[in-house]
Amino acid sequence: MIETLLPSNVAVQTCQASEGNGVQLMAEEECAIANAVISRRREFSIGRACARAALAKLGFLPCAIPSGPHREPLWPSGIVGSITHCAGFYGAAVALQKDYLALGIDAEVDEELPSGVLSLISGDEERYWIANAAGRLNWGRLLFSAKESIFKAWFPLTREWLGFEDAVVTISPDDGSFVARLPHKLMPATGRPGELRGRFRIADGLILTAVSIEGPRSRGISCCA
């Protein structure tokens, strides 16, 4: 389903937990989870398997995807990508760097946020919108997922951390999109205040969000930016 949120030249691979039995890591990846518990090893290994399958759709041979100092995936040269997982679901999206500057995807179980979390991940404007939003959807969880996608795209592009308070997200339920304003952050190479756009989908017990930041050669492709 994540593929419906991204342009056609982004390669996506998803799988369910039941499809991840027997997945093996490459040697360069082992150090990232050398001391991890079994559940974390499983999450990591299935996520990497999805990433390799997505890369294969772009014509890449199987390769290691180790982790950087901040646990970020280190993609092959010329590739940008993002990996996500939640209970029972795993996914990865990759694209050529000449087409996209960064990607961010996130999957969450479609349920309410734990008590007290909304106040930690949202600002006054966002909480006001959620309090008055139509429908009985888990808007708080969607907001959390949107910000996760935004942060996953932002960090590899800028090497800067974002706090939840740094992004002010406006959700558009009618067309399944969202816009994040980053008033205190500047977009690389433009010097303008950051603004990122993404899309979301809620289906089959999941909340899925995706952000893609176009490169200069892909401007004009009709997609989320």
The span from the CA of 208 to the CA of 146, in Å, is 8
Q: Taking residues 40-59, report their average pLDDT.
A: 92
| Mean pLDDT value across the chain | 88
Residue 120 has a pLDDT of 95
Cα–Cα distances in angstroms (integers) from residue 33 to residues 69, 97, 192, 197, in the given order = 13, 27, 38, 33
> In the predicted model, is pLDDT for residue 58 greater than 80?
yes
- In the chain, what are the domains? 2-214 (3.90.470.20)
Tokens representing residue 97 in the block: 């760097």
Q: What is the pTM of this model?
A: 0.89
Residue 19 has a pLDDT of 63
> In the predicted model, is pLDDT for residue 177 greater than 70?
yes
Residue 118 has a pLDDT of 96
The span from the CA of 151 to the CA of 103, in Å, is 10
Q: Taking residues 46-50, report their average pLDDT.
A: 91
Among 72-86, 152-166, 168-182, name the one with the lowest average pLDDT: 152-166
Q: Are 205 and 110 in contact (CB under 8 A)?
A: yes
Q: For the chain, give the percent of residues with pLDDT over 90.
A: 62
Summarised one tens digit per residue, pLDDT across range 75-110 is: 999 999 999 999 889 999 999 999 999 999 999 999
Residue 225 has a pLDDT of 32
Instruction: Give the DSSP letter of residue 73.
Output: B
Residue 167 has a pLDDT of 92
Strands 177-186 and 168-172: antiparallel
The span from the CA of 223 to the CA of 204, in Å, is 24
> In the predicted model, is pLDDT for residue 218 greater than 60?
no
> Residue-wise over 151-187: b if at least 16 C-beta within 10 A, else e?
bbbbbbbbeeebebebbbbebeeeebbbbbbbeebeb
